[in-house]
Amino acid sequence: MNKDISGILCDEAELDSIVKRLAGEINRDYAGKSVVVVGILKGSAIFLADLFRRLEIDCTLDFMAVSSYGSETIPSGSLRIEKNLSTDISGKHVLIVEDILDTGNTLYALKAYLEELHPCSVRLCTLLDKPSRREKPITADYCGREVENQFIVGYGLDYDEHYRNLPYIGILSPSVYRK
């Protein structure tokens, strides 16, 4: 375990189990439909890769980069689209894949933005959900696991761009971000 991690929240086996379950739900719900899977960079990349390989539906892949944290541990409250879609989603089913649903500010704004592009549907798949921090009325259609209000990293989640490469999700020691 990394010295900056005070405990493991989800080990590799649990993550694999979550991804398999979510892929099964998505495969069932989108059977016979074509879906544009939209990964939110950078946090969802590892989760998305594992999930996407398990999808048995007709799907394409696109990415968006949105920012709300920067170097801080709390959301800034502003949505900044750094990379937009390269796919026209008008009349298509869209599945947003994100690493964590926290305050909901970013995903609420992002979902509203995508709905203005006239897709058939927009659904949200998140690996982790922190409902205790929710500020906007948004829920995930597919949720891997609810978590407590702790600062977590690994499996794509970061603190100031570090720790994404951990193969598990760990609790970051406060001494790292309370300097």
Whether residue 156 is contained in a domain is answered as: no
**Both structure tokens of 126:** 């998140």
Give the three-class secondary structure for 171. strand
Its domain, for residue 122, covers 18-150
CATH number for the domain including 41?
3.40.50.2020
Neighbours of 37 (CB within 10 A): 22
Planar angle of CA 136, 7, 165, nearest 5 degrees? 75
Which pLDDT score, from 0 to 100, does residue 1 have?
65
pTM: 0.92
pLDDT 10s per residue in the chain (179 long)? 689 999 999 999 999 999 999 999 999 999 999 999 999 999 999 999 999 999 999 999 999 998 765 445 454 556 789 999 999 999 999 999 999 999 898 899 999 999 999 999 999 999 999 999 999 999 999 999 999 999 999 999 999 999 999 999 999 999 998 86
Q: How many domains does the chain have?
A: 1
Does residue 108 form part of some domain?
Answer: yes
In a domain, 4, yes or no: no
Active site positions, annotated:
102
Look at residue 78 in the predicted model and tell me its pLDDT.
Answer: 64
Q: Is residue 172 part of a domain?
A: no
- Residue 25 included in any domain: yes
pLDDT at 70: 45
158 part of a folded domain: no
How many angstroms separate the most distant Cα atoms in the chain?
Answer: 52
Taking the C-alpha atoms of residue 137 and residue 134, their distance in angstroms, rounded to an integer, is: 8
- Residue 166 placed within a domain: no
Among 2, 1, 5, smallest CA distance to 170 is for 5
Q: Is residue 8 part of a domain?
A: no
Between CA 165 and CA 2 the distance in angstroms is 11
